[in-house]
Structure formats: C-alpha cells, structure tokens
Amino acid sequence: MDNKGFTLIELIAVLAILGILGTIAAVKMYSFGGAASERVAEMAIEELNVREKMHWTNAKMSGEEPEAYAMAHKDWDIGDGTVNASGTAITVGEATIPVVREPATYDHPAHWKRN
C-alpha cells in the first residue's frame, strides 16, 4: 500500500518550527519600533543643535547677545517630536528622552544633548 501525505509527528514538528520562527519575528518587529524612536530622538537633537547654530550666527551678525536672541527666537517644533515647555525632554511617539540645553555664550552656540 502506497501511503501519501504526512504523519502527525511531521505536521506537529512543522507547526512547532513555524511557531518558533513567528515568535522570533514578532520580537524583532517589536524591538524595531523602539530603535526607530531612539533614532528619531537623536535626529531631533541634531535638528535643535542646527537651529541653535543658526540663531547664534544671526545674533552675532546683528550684534545681539546670543542667549537672549536664541530664547527670543526659540523654535522647538521638531516635526515628529516635541520638546516640553521647560526644554528638559523630547517626546517622540511613546518614547520620552531627557535632554539638557547648554546655554549660548558669545564664543559658542547653545548645545542640546541627552541627559
């Protein structure tokens, strides 16, 4: 007699392997979202630093005090992320990243970094 098909053991083994692969894929997909939020936060800090340099340059060209000029013209709307009112955290999606802003001086622009 010629038996065609798969045995119950073979089917269970395939289902177990698919279950393991599905679990691994789900974990990878979940951790990918966290890494993306971290990268967006890093880009937001870079964007804030570019804006600070622009304000510092404008202040030097106009003869104004750099920190006062930067605070008068602050623009903390950074696309996908937001900076809280006190400037101590950036929120991107569900991630909140603490930051600190070093004030501008006459010699260098203000600088944002992770706290």
Task: Quick: pLDDT tens for 58-98.
Answer: 888 988 888 888 778 776 666 666 777 677 888 777 778 88
29 vs 53, higher pLDDT: 53
**Side by side, which strands form the sheet with 111-114?**
77-78, 81-83, 89-92, 95-102, 111-114
Torsion of CA 74, 79, 80, 83, to 10 degrees: 0
97, 89 Cβ separation under 8 angstroms: yes
Q: In which band, very low, low, confident or very high, does the pLDDT at 5 lie, cut at 50, 70 and 90?
A: confident
Place of tokens 């890494």: 35
Grouping H, G, I as helix, E, B as strand and the rest as coil, residue 74 is: coil
Give dist(CA 95, CA 36) in Å, integer: 10
